[in-house]
Amino acid sequence: MLKKLVYFFLILFLTLPLHTAQAQNVGFAKSARGDTYYFVTESIKAVNNKIFVSSMCEYGTERNGIAKKAFAIVFDSGERKYRLLGVASIGIDGKVLEKREYPQAVWNEIAGNPTEEALFLAVTRYLAHNPLASSSRGQNQPSRHKQATATGFFITPSIVVTNNHVVNAAKQIEVIYNNEMKAAATIICTDPASDLALLQVSGLENSVVPLVLGQSGKVREGTRIYAVGFPLIAYTGTAAKITEGIISGTAGYKGDLKQFEISAPIQPGNSGGPLLNEKGEVIGVVAAELGRKFVDKTGIIPQSVNFAVKSDNIRSLLANQLGNFNLPISGQQRLMRDAVNIMDLAKKGIVRISVVVE
């Protein structure tokens, strides 16, 4: 099966209209030499953990008559490896000057090669937001509905916190608890300015253990934190994942005082997940990363620059919309200092959110 797909992809790659790269591709990096990298969205084909994609490099200055090169690549997203399937050199007139195929090329580690790393991250993020892009051309007509996944967490047995941007265009919201128990959710209220939303969920009250809100106003730079959520489920599975880091700054994007800047790695799907301190208290809600739009605009690929909404904004939203409200109180006085214990606690209160939008 894989050999047939490699042959199919090589034929597709070599017949793509490569001379119109900017019109068809998504930029993902710009080098110090002025070279711009793209991937061809119509070339993407995902099968299990294998992602086939055509990438383009447009030189800032032509080199020996070559204006750009195109690469056919396959990624193993599970093992973070890649191998080259073909290369084409394109002249300044748009004609293919040379093409070579490498169907037997060896696998290479992605780590340590910034170009392959950037391409891999860009393609997986694109697929996470455009699941139909992995269908080959001519198959499966697009649905008029789109589905996205994110994360949320209980603060009472029936109220879930997530981001406003996760649910603001939702036609249908469903939460999945413990990877098997499903329940419909409705929006109680939102705060677009803080990017927060509260959801009403019924039927899971006897199963969940709500997470405890900490006091984000007392958090300082350098505080150890843990982000828990469901990133890139199409490629990493539906089990919850945990990453750790520190509070890099007590202000977020462009100095937003409603946010923290955090170093914990996050991906699409982490949005709305809890940011926990070493007591297992929620001090923030994972909200955003400097992603593809930032890269397109600046040519800079940021490293571990992510943002979370401070938990005190949840308290304000509750007070303004629901009045006096009793929330769980932490019985944990000592620092847990262990990601394993933090994860065990978080799993009892987090949910995967599935959203259907037009």
Residue-wise pLDDT for 245-292, tens only, equals 999 999 988 889 999 999 999 888 999 999 999 999 999 999 977 655
Q: What is the pLDDT of residues 66-95, one digit of tens each?
A: 888 888 899 888 788 888 888 888 888 777
How much is the pTM? 0.61
Residues 203, 328 within the same domain: yes
> What is the token pair recorded at 108?
């290479």
The DSSP letter of residue 62 is E
In a domain, 141, yes or no: no
Domain span including residue 245: 148-357
- Element (H or E) spanning 126, and its range? helix 114-129
Q: Are residues 91 and 173 in the same domain?
A: no
Using CA atoms, how far residue 281 sits from 157, 243, 248, 311, 343, in Å, is: 16, 15, 18, 10, 12
Q: Which residue has the tokens 């900017």?
A: 22
Tokens 């959710």, residue located: 185
48 Cβ contact partners less than 8 Å away, ≥ 6 residues apart: none
Q: What is the pLDDT of residue 89?
A: 85
Domain boundary among 88, 106, 134: 134
Rounded to 5°, angle at Cα 284 from 280 and 285: 110
- For residue 88, what are the contacts with CB-CB under 8 A and spacing of at least 6? 13, 14, 18, 69, 70, 96, 98, 99, 100
The answer, yes or no, to whether residue 132 has pLDDT greater than 80, is no
**Rounded distance, CA 5 to CA 85, Å?**
11
Q: What is the C-alpha to C-alpha distance for residues 46 and 60, in angstroms, rounded to an integer?
A: 31
Same domain, 122 and 181: no
Q: In the prediction, which pLDDT does 326 show?
A: 78
CATH number at residue 25: 2.40.128
3-state SS class at 123: helix
Cα–Cα dist 105/85, whole Å: 7
Q: Of 112, 134, 156, which residue is a domain's last?
A: 134
Q: Can you spell out the DSSP letters for 192-215? A: TTTTEEEEEE-S-TTT--PPPB--
Give a yes or no: residue 143 inside a domain. Answer: no
Residues 300, 173 within the same domain: yes
